[in-house]
Structure 1
Amino acid sequence: MTDHFHNPKLDEHPASNAEKDPADWVSGNEPITGAQASYLATLCEEVGVELPTGDLTKADASRQIDEMKAKLGRE
């Protein structure tokens, strides 16, 4: 007997649940990661704005990264 199961990793167009609103992240309140800080700094420099100051969370950083990417036309 051969039972086949559906492997979502093989879908041509994966489900949209791969992207969550940062407000729904379990780790969203944790401090910004080094990678996020570096990318945000690069984007801010490209846009020509000051890097945000203060303590950013992962969720805050993600939202700001998305905002900077939108300003640069990188969706």
Structure 2
Amino acid sequence: MTEQNPDKDVDDWVTGEEPATGPQLSYLRTLAREAGEDVPEDLTKARASQMIDRLQGKSPRTAGREDGGDQAS
């Protein structure tokens, strides 16, 4: 099994200039709505990932969480 590096610079992604994926856009819209921001229409995978990282820091659900995920109750 190949181990992936989640910290790889998005500018080095082979597919970074492809359009953002459906799951990226869905999650991004949720975070943007919580932050009172808009999601640009023509996001690439790389830029969507960067925006997700930035907005996770603003979200009350994910701010301060290393993994950015929801805590189980």
Q: Structure 2 length as normaliser, TM-score?
A: 0.71
Question: Residue 45 of structure 1 is aligned with which of 33, 39, 42?
Answer: 33
Which string of whole-angstrom CA distances, capped at 9 and with x for unpartnered residues, describes residues 14-53 of structure 1?
Answer: xxx621111111100000100000000000111122x222
Alignment of 1:71 with 2:58, yes or no, is: yes
Runs of 5+ unmatched residues, structure 2: 67-73
Higher Rg: 1
How well do the aligned residues superpose, as a CA RMSD in angstroms?
2.1
Count how many residue pairs are aligned between Structure 1 and Structure 2: 61
Unaligned regions of 5+ residues in structure 1, if any?
Answer: 1-6, 10-16
Which structure has greater helix proportion? Answer: 1
Q: Which runs of 4+ in 1 moved over 4 A?
A: none
TM-score norm. by structure 1 comes to 0.69
Give, in whole Å, the separation in 1 of the partners of 2:2 and 2:40: 40
State percent identity of aligned pairs: 49
